[in-house]
Amino acid sequence: MLESLKNRIKTSKLTKTEKLIADYFQEKESKLYFMTSRDIAAELKVSDTSIIRFVKSLGFENFTEFKDSLKENISNKIITPNEKLNRNKLLLESEKMMDIFLDNIESNISETFSKNSIESLNTVSEVLLQSQKKYVIGFKSTSGFAAFFGLRLGFVMEGVKTYSRNSSELLKDIVDIKEGDCLFIVAYPKYSKTYNLLIKIAKKAKAKIIVLTDKATSPVIKDSDITLFINISGISYFNSMVATQALLEYFLTDLSRKIGNKGNERLALINSYLDENL
């Protein structure tokens, strides 16, 4: 929690509205960065002015400065795997662990789709449709997603190149990226430095850059054209990957619908050759 918020609660007598806002800020700290003052006001059923006034009472000039400070605060939080496991120990030992697990999955999927606008999702689909070459990339914990998405995208679209390993072959190929192509990256901790190099190359070539990542402080989003944020919080040592899978499946479904017969014909042709190869 922000120190200024802690001190405000500790040293001041809050009004009913201020207490409502303070409680919300504490409970939803990780969510606040994605919200405007109006979003918060609407959820709490208070005025936008009340939110801004409270933020100013914390020592900030405006809501934007508050969010910048919050971003820095979140980026400085490093939770080790062991700390994460200890934090969720009671959940894992609960007799209702299965219910908690399913609720977490449902929450991750729901929040992922709610925090990314339908306009952003449509834009991603359109960029993939219009791009001549699509470079789908993910390393380490996201290598499986790159392989899954790239393979299936290639069944219905031409020009898909998939890289699930950080190799010299990738760098050899990426130098050919150009305007009219797109770079599609899925990146979670621990972020590979290679992502930033690939983005630098793509930006210089004026190719479109799409990044799927977990938070606003991710080091790979600075120069992306479109950034989608995905909830990956798990209740154990591991991050949850279900929301990522759901979002990728959404794009495959949307693209299949938009491509229509052309995609079906390509898929049928590939399947016929696969059958011959069995």
Q: What is the CATH number of the domain that holds 53?
A: 1.10.10.10
In a shared domain, residues 114 and 228:
yes
- Beta partners for 181? 179
pLDDT of residue 187: 94
96 in a structural domain: no
Q: For residues 176 and 63, which has the higher predicted lDDT (pLDDT)? A: 176
Q: For residues 209 and 79, which has the higher predicted lDDT (pLDDT)? A: 209
pLDDT band with cut points at 50, 70 and 90 for residue 252: very high
**What CA–CA distances, in Å, run from 28 to 33, 173, 271?**
9, 43, 48
Q: Looking at the predicted structure, is the pLDDT value of residue 139 above 60?
A: yes
In a shared domain, residues 140 and 251:
yes
Could you read off the pLDDT of 44-83 as tens digits, one per residue?
Answer: 999 999 999 988 888 888 888 887 777 666 555 545 555 5
118, 73, 7, 41: CA torsion to nearest 10:
-10
In a shared domain, residues 269 and 213:
yes
pLDDT band with cut points at 50, 70 and 90 for residue 10: low
| Tokens coding 144 | 């499986």
In a shared domain, residues 31 and 123:
no
The predicted model gives 147-164 an average pLDDT of 93
pLDDT of residue 1: 47
176 in a structural domain: yes
Could you read off the pLDDT of 217-238 as tens digits, one per residue?
Answer: 788 988 999 999 998 988 777 7
What's phi and psi for 26, nearest 5 deg? -70, -45
Taking the C-alpha atoms of residue 27 and residue 131, their distance in angstroms, rounded to an integer, is: 41
What's phi and psi for 134, nearest 5 deg? -120, 115
Q: Looking at the predicted structure, is the pLDDT value of residue 181 above 90?
A: yes
| Tokens coding 116 | 């990314």
In a shared domain, residues 133 and 247:
yes
In a shared domain, residues 238 and 124:
yes
* CB neighbours of residue 18 within 10 Å: 18
Taking the C-alpha atoms of residue 139 and residue 143, their distance in angstroms, rounded to an integer, is: 4
Strands (E), the chain: 134-137, 160-163, 182-187, 208-213, 226-229
258 in a structural domain: yes
Q: Looking at the predicted structure, is the pLDDT value of residue 26 above 60?
A: yes
In a shared domain, residues 126 and 257:
yes
65-69, 137-141, 187-191 — most confident range: 137-141
153 in a structural domain: yes
Radius of gyration of the chain (CA): 22
**What CATH number did the domain enclosing 259 receive?**
3.40.50.10490
- Cβ-based neighbours of 39, under 8 Å, separated by 6 or more: none
Q: For residues 266 and 224, which has the higher predicted lDDT (pLDDT)? A: 224
In a shared domain, residues 121 and 70:
no
Percent of the chain with pLDDT over 70: 83
Could you read off the pLDDT of 106-121 as tens digits, one per residue?
Answer: 989 998 998 899 999 9
In a shared domain, residues 64 and 132:
no
Q: For residues 58 and 127, which has the higher predicted lDDT (pLDDT)? A: 127
In a shared domain, residues 67 and 128:
no
Query: Looking at 75, 92, 120, which one is the last position of a domain?
Result: 75
Nearest to 230 by CA among 189, 199, 183: 189
Query: Looking at 75, 99, 127, which one is the last position of a domain?
Result: 75
Q: For residues 249 and 237, which has the higher predicted lDDT (pLDDT)? A: 249
In a shared domain, residues 23 and 70:
yes
What is the number of structural domains in the chain? 2
Upper half-sphere CA count for residue 69 (Cβ side, 13 Å): 16
Least confident of 96-100, 105-109, 155-159, 241-245: 96-100
89 in a structural domain: no
DSSP letter string over 70-110? Answer: HHHHHHT----HHHHHHHTHHHHHSTTHHHHHHHHHHHHHH
In a shared domain, residues 52 and 127:
no
Mean residue pLDDT of the chain comes to 84
Query: Looking at 75, 100, 127, which one is the last position of a domain?
Result: 75
> Which domain does 178 fall in, by range?
108-276
Is 17 in a helix, a strand, or coil? Answer: helix
pLDDT of residue 130: 95
88 in a structural domain: no
The predicted model gives 175-192 an average pLDDT of 93
Q: Looking at the predicted structure, is the pLDDT value of residue 86 above 90?
A: no
